[in-house]
Amino acid sequence: MTADQSDQYTFGDPTTRYPNIHPEVQQQPEPGLQSKMTPVPDLGENSYRGTGRLTGRKALITGADSGIGAAVAIAFAREGADITLSYLPEEEKDARHVIGLIEAAGRKAIAVPGDIREAAHCRALVDAAVEGMGGLDAVVNVAGKQVWQKSILDITDEQFEATFLTNVFAPFWIIKAALPHLKPGSTIVNTASLEAYTPAPDRLDYATTKGAINNFSKGLSQQLVSQGIRVNVVAPGPTWTVLQVTGGVDPETLPEFGSSESPMGRSGQPAEIAPAYVFLTSAESSFVAGETLNVNGGMPTP
């Protein structure tokens, strides 16, 4: 955030709204900790201002410990929602940071660590959310796995399976378990990517899952819209998160991450992506269903 930006509503030049970072080459073992990154991503801790757009809502958010998922959790809480946070046990340190901010906003924070690659955990996660918040009316699937490989020959069966389990199977299991609890007015927001449209050749399995979740969401939207449940998608472009420093991209490309791809000349920060999820979850988007909202710094998509 620049010095002259007080909150997400401050008028200004979007190309310089957040710094054009040039991260040093750095790597962590998966899943990594955002708190150990240089620079640490901006979640909107000091800038996001709520206006009551989600007052009384009860949201389940995956990947809520860091990156986009954490920024969404903070924004939702400041908009008046209670939050159930899904994350891996190894990410507890980052999750505690987010939980503290949710509670500082006066909202409930239900922590449910565990591995969403397991169907049983996904079902238990939904049960814990319903019990802990007294209901559920917003499901936000953000958690993702991304590992770069130069060639398809380098993608192991284990990596391919883990990527699909995290990015496609887990949202399917979570939504299926959540659906009996969702009343008219409820929302589901899934996370695709720019790579659903322009797949990077060195992130072949990741890009494939993002195309799958995009299509899954559009088909599911048509199933559920008559029940008053809206399904939409956010498709971020290059965003500075812990995925990038845990093998998500070629480490040698980190110093120029995002700046050579985006017409804005820089990568995005999680704080910039979160408002898209707020919009699609709030009642102000009541006539929006089956939509993919691209938040990518101006990179053309179909």
Question: Which active-site residues does the annotation give?
Answer: 206
Three-state SS at 59:
strand
What is the tally of helices (H) and strands (E) in the chain? 7, 7
Tabulate helix, strand, coil % of the chain (nearest 5).
Answer: 45, 10, 45
Query: CA geometry: angle at 75 spanning 26 and 89, to 5°?
Result: 50
Nearest to 80 by CA among 24, 133, 146: 133
CA distances from residue 281 to 53, 72, 289 in whole angstroms, order as listed: 9, 11, 11
Give every CB contact of residue 240 below 8 A, 6+ residues apart in sequence: 21, 23, 39, 41, 257, 258, 267, 268, 269, 270
